[in-house]
Homo-oligomer: A and B are copies of this chain.
Amino acid sequence: MVDAETAVDGENTDDPEVADDPEVAADLGTEPAGAVGTSTDDPLKAEIMRATYGALVKRGYSDLTIQSIADEFPKSKSLLYYHYDGKDDLLASFLGFATERFRREIDVETDDPEAQLRSLVDRLVPESLDDDEYRLQVALLELRSETPHNERFREQYAVVDESLKSAIADVLSRGVESGAFAADADPDTEAEALVSLLTGARTRRLSTHERFPIGGTRTALDAHLDRLLADPEPER
CB within 8 Å of B: which residues of A?
138, 141-142, 144-145, 147-148, 153-155, 157-158, 161, 184, 186, 188-190, 192-193, 195-201, 203-204, 206-209, 211-213, 216-217, 219-221, 223-224, 227, 235
A217 x B200 contact (CB < 8 A) = no
Q: Which B residues are CB-close (under 8 A) to A216?
A: 188-189, 192
Known: A199-B200, A200-B195, A208-B161. A186 touches B145 (CB 8 A): no
Given contacts A138-B148, A199-B204, 12 further A-B contacts (CB under 8 A): A144-B203, A154-B208, A154-B209, A157-B207, A158-B208, A158-B211, A189-B216, A193-B220, A196-B197, A196-B217, A199-B203, A227-B227
Q: Which residue of B lies closest to A137 (CB)?
A: B148
Chain B residues, Cβ within 8 Å of A224: 193
Minimal beta-carbon separation of A121 from chain B (angstroms) = 12
Contact (Cβ within 8 A) B220 A190: yes
Contacts of A188 in B (CB 8 A): 216
Question: Which of A142, A161, A195, A220 has the most B CB atoms < 10 Å from its CB?
Answer: A220
Closest chain B residue, CB of each to CB of A216: B192
Which chain B positions have C-beta within 8 A of A153?
207
A200, B203: Cα distance in complex, Å: 7
Contact A145 B147, beta carbon cutoff 8 Å: no
Once the chains are docked, how many angstroms separate the CA of A198 from the CA of B203?
11
Inside 8 A of A235's CB, which chain B residues have their CB? 184, 186, 189
A196: nearest chain-B partner, CB-CB = B200
Instruction: Flag if A208 contacts B141 (CB, 8 Å).
Output: no
Cβ contacts under 8 Å, A142 to chain B: 145
Q: Which residues of B contact A157 (CB under 8 A)?
A: 207-208
